[in-house]
Amino acid sequence: MKKIGTLFGFFLSVALCAGPVKPDVTYTKIVKLVDMKSTDEVEVTYQYAAIVWNARGAELSKLMISYNKHVVVEDIEGAQFDFAGNKLRGVRSKEIQDRPAYDGFSLFSDARVKSHQFNSGEYPYRIYYSYTRKLSHNMYGISFNPRFSPSVAVDSFIGNLIFPKELAPNYRMKGGRGSIDKTENKDKVKLTYTVTNLKAEEAEPYSPPFGTWYEALDVFCNQCSYGGFKASAADWKGYGELIVELNEGRDVLSPALVNELTEITKNESQAGKVKKIYEYLQNNTRYISVQVGVGGIQPIPANEVYANGYGDCKGLSNLMKAMLSAIGIKSNYVLVEAGENPDGVDNSFIYDPFNHAILCVPFQHDTTWLECTSRFDPCGYQGGFTGNRKALVIEKGNSHLVSTNSYDHNDNTATASLMAKLEEGGDLQVDISMICRNESQDVLRQLRHEADPSIKERYWQSAFSLPSYVVNRVVINAHKEQAVADVDLKLTVSKAVSVSGPRMFMTPVFTNTVHERLLKDTARLNDLYFNSAFTEIDTFLFSIPEAYRLESGGKTLSLSNEFGSFEMRTEVNNGTLTIVRKRIQYRGNFDKTKYNDFVKYNNDMYQAERTKLVWVKN
């Protein structure tokens, strides 16, 4: 291995600042070599040199090496230099921290992290690191990612992948700013992936998830191995066979439990049986992550999960599957990329983007999806965590991609009535009654059942776009049978009304508003991306003080376009002001050339919501 003293060439070709946006860190050179000797032996060497411009760059560029029982870390080297290239210090072994990769929710995990960071209050400075990871599998850690944040600049990235011809992997290049060169000899193939001159970029509002457009070479092996399990993953069916093998024999339940399940479901329909068993799971288990050995992708046996009363997503889904099977109902274990902003599954590229396991129960005319880690979701509800995306159904000999439940603007609704009364001193007392459905109630359900008091308090303190208010009362009722939550709120909005001579000024109160004005952008890089669809309807009612009449404000507006629609209607009748605000947002991707159209639409809504009402004495 090359030593630090010979590697100052890593620093040579660098400008003082890469691009119009100053980066937090500039990687002057990154070299990653993946040498796949067999399915069970892969050696990865990694070297990088960087200029650290500020404290955030110091955090982004620190050394972080993950490992577990399937990965060995060797030959860690590093050094810090001043900007001119004079060496200041090297890495001493006692300075390398070695700690559990604590994720905040795993009870058992063998994942660990070796880390190191140079500390300096003077910027800029230069750093260099190198290390080797030896893998006893070929499933993870063999892709090439030049950067992981748009605030990072990369002058040069070189990734080399060497593999025997019989182990040719699947690969795809993303981002469009790299190149691939392929060379072959008698026994092996070498792919060289090169990316240069990546400028730091500002985060653009309403951009797709970073993982969908950043530069990368994704690699996944046709012949894959992990923890002694092997599979041919040339297609989704083949990859599914690996999961089938991992899950094999882990669905055994005790006769006593089978008898209990049979008894509690004996008078139920098929759908009723699923609901009973799901509620049984919710009442008798809880979610705790387990990531030991092959546990990152293999479920703990069902009888152990039941005996312990806890499990991770894999263990709980496998237990649910076993319990349904015990009463004669077929279900399928499902892998999915969970979260609010999934990168999305590419049908044509076989790989593993999945981070979560759920269950599906296929009936004749529809499918029931079960989120087995939740103790409070209604049976069959997915919401924004696993809905609206592709997932991999695991079935022996027939694993395949399917679409999970889709929730559009007609499903995700929030309807509120706000009754405002003027108090002395200009405060408004506002009683809010709100009902939310499906994805619009996800956060409320979590607040009701899972959030501690400090999180609830912080949420309500920032829930409304008002300059100053106090939440006097909150009652959330999350329905057990449906994805519906009712909320009753009492607010005091401070100094909401001001008086000047014969006139009174007030801004109406809504539960939902457009958060900010946007600026036009003639050089936008990314398409627009809206990951949620919804309908919001607010009805604001205000008892008009005697002797006053509405002089101006109270806009009536109707907008409709490809992004959605917006309506605002104002009426005065029998001493009551009524303002109805309705917004519909569609989910989807829109070409970047549409961005300035959206800016105008956004700003028109923003202005309408904040138009002051002016009252004058009769």
Residue 49 is assigned to a structural domain of this protein: yes
Whether residue 169 sits in one domain with residue 72: yes
Q: Which of the 8 DSSP states describes residue 458?
A: H
The average pLDDT across 421-428 equals 88
Q: Which two tokens stand for residue 405?
A: 């439940």
Contact by Cβ (8 Å): 33, 45: yes
Q: Is there a single domain that holds both residue 252 and residue 324?
A: yes
Measured N-to-C along each axis, helices 442-449 and 453-461 cross at an angle, to the nearest 10 degrees, of: 140
CA proximity to 541, closest of 579, 513, 512, 506? 579
Where is average pLDDT lowest: 201-210, 297-306, 574-583?
201-210
pLDDT band at 11 (very low <50, low <70, confident <90, very high): very low
Distance CA 414, CA 364 (A): 32
Measured in whole angstroms, the distance separating CA 130 from the mean position of its chain's CA atoms is 30
* Residue 547 pLDDT: 84
Q: Which residues contact 45 (CB under 8 A, 6 or more apart)?
A: 1, 31, 32, 33, 35, 130, 131, 132
Q: Would 172 be classed as within a structural domain?
A: yes
Terminal-to-terminal C-alpha distance of the chain: 88
Mean pLDDT score, 94-108: 71
pLDDT > 70? residue 275: yes
> DSSP label at 139?
S
Top mean pLDDT of 213-222, 230-239, 257-266, 347-356 is at: 257-266
Task: Dump pLDDT digits (tens) for 30-41.
Answer: 999 999 999 999
Backbone angles phi, psi at 454, to 5 degrees: -65, -35
Residue 530 is assigned to a structural domain of this protein = yes
pLDDT of 160 reads 98
Cα angle, residue 58 at apex, residues 53 and 59 outer, rounded to 5° = 135
The parent domain of residue 501 ranges over: 413-617
Which CATH number do you get for residue 95?
2.60.40.3140
Local structure of 381: helix, strand or coil: coil
- Are 196 and 106 within one domain? yes
Mean pLDDT of 425-432: 92
* pLDDT(517) > 90: yes
Do 211 and 236 lie in one domain? The reply is no
> Residue 15 above 80 pLDDT?
no
Position 4 pLDDT exceeds 70? no
Q: What is the pLDDT of residue 179?
A: 95
Alpha helices in 373-421 (DSSP H): 383-386
pLDDT at 16 over 70: no
Mean predicted confidence (pLDDT) in 196-210:
90
Looking at the structure, tell me whether residues 257 and 220 fall in a common domain: no
pLDDT of residue 592: 95
pLDDT at 352: 87
Pairwise pLDDT comparison (588 vs 21), residue with the higher score = 588
pLDDT (0 to 100) of residue 291: 62
Asked if residue 521 lies in contact with residue 596, where contact means CB atoms within 8 angstroms, the answer is: yes
DSSP E strands in 102-241: the ranges are 106-109, 112-116, 125-135, 152-164, 169-174, 178-184, 188-198, 216-221, 223-226, 229-232
Report the 10 Å Cβ neighbour count for 225: 20
The arrangement of strands across the sheet holding 503-506 comes to 497-500, 503-506, 613-617, 548-552
**Residue 408: inside a domain:** no
Q: What is the mean pLDDT of residues 579-605?
A: 97
Assess if residue 435 is contained within a domain: yes
Q: Does position 466 have pLDDT exceeding 90, yes or no?
A: no
Residue 2 has pLDDT above 60, yes or no: no
The CATH number covering residue 417 comes to 2.60.120.1130
Among 369, 403, 437, identify where a domain stops: 403
Residues 179 and 211 in one domain: yes
pLDDT score recorded for residue 50? 97
The residue whose two tokens read 């193939």 is 189
Question: How many domains, in total, are found in the chain?
Answer: 3
- Do 601 and 473 share a structural domain? yes
Distances (CA, A) of 201 to 153, 302, 445, 519, 585: 8, 48, 37, 16, 27
| DSSP class of 62 | S
pLDDT over 50 at 549, yes or no: yes
Q: Which residues of 541-565 are buried (b: 16+ CB within 10 A; e: fewer)?
A: bbebeeebebeebbbebebeeebbb
Write the pLDDT tens digit of every residue in 310-332.
Answer: 999 999 999 999 999 999 999 99
> Is the confidence at residue 423, as pLDDT, over 50?
yes
What share of the chain in percent tops pLDDT 90? 72
Over residues 164-181, the pLDDT tens digits come to: 999 999 999 998 889 999
Q: DSSP label at 144?
A: B
The answer to whether residue 584 scores a pLDDT higher than 90 is yes
Mean pLDDT of the chain: 91
Question: What pLDDT, in 10s, does the model give residues 331-341?
Answer: 999 999 999 88
Radius of gyration (Cα) for the chain, nearest Å?
A: 29
pLDDT above 70 coverage of the chain, percent? 94
In sequence order, the 6+-apart residues with CB closer than 8 A to the CB of 581 are 510, 512, 536, 537, 538, 539, 540, 567, 568, 609
Q: Please, which contacts does 253-256 make with residues 24 or more away whose CB atoms are closer than 8 Å?
A: 253/302, 253/303, 253/306, 253/322, 253/323, 253/326, 254/303, 254/306
Of the candidates 378, 403, 428, which is a domain's last residue? 403
pLDDT at 297: 85
Give the orientation angle of helix 270-284 with respect to helix 255-264, to 10 degrees.
Answer: 130
Same domain for 219 and 264, yes or no, is no
Considering the domain architecture, whether residues 243 and 221 belong to the same structural domain is answered as: no
- 224/233 Cα distance (integer angstroms): 7
**Domain limit, last residue, from 207, 227, 247:** 227
**Assigned domain for 521 exists:** yes
The pLDDT-based confidence of 145 (bands split at 50, 70, 90) is: very high
Cis peptide preceding 124, ω within 30 of 0: yes
345, β-bridge pairs: none
- pLDDT at position 555: 77
Instruction: Tell me: do 188 and 293 sit in the same domain.
Output: no
- Which among 417, 441, 413 is positioned nearest to 431, based on CA atoms? 417
The answer to whether residue 269 sits within a structural domain is: yes
pLDDT at 344: 84
Task: Let me know whether 236 and 223 are in one domain.
Answer: no
Token reading at 17 = 């600042």
| Beta bridge partner(s), residue 505 | 498, 614
Of the candidates 355, 347, 394, the residue with the CA atom closest to the CA atom of residue 373: 355
CATH of the domain at 388: 3.10.620.30
Cβ neighbours for 610, distance < 8 A, ≥ 6 positions apart: 507, 513
Distance of CA 21 to the CA centre of its chain: 26
| Residues 219, 238 within the same domain | no
Q: Is 147 exposed, middle or buried (0-12, 13-18, 19+ CB in 10 A)?
A: buried
pLDDT higher than 90, residue 391: yes
Instruction: Judge whether 299 lies within some domain.
Output: yes
Which residue spans within 466-610 are E strands per DSSP? 469-478, 484-493, 497-500, 503-506, 528-530, 534-543, 548-552, 557-561, 564-573, 576-585, 588-590
HSE of 132 in the Cβ direction (CA atoms, 13 Å)?
8
pLDDT at 108: 57
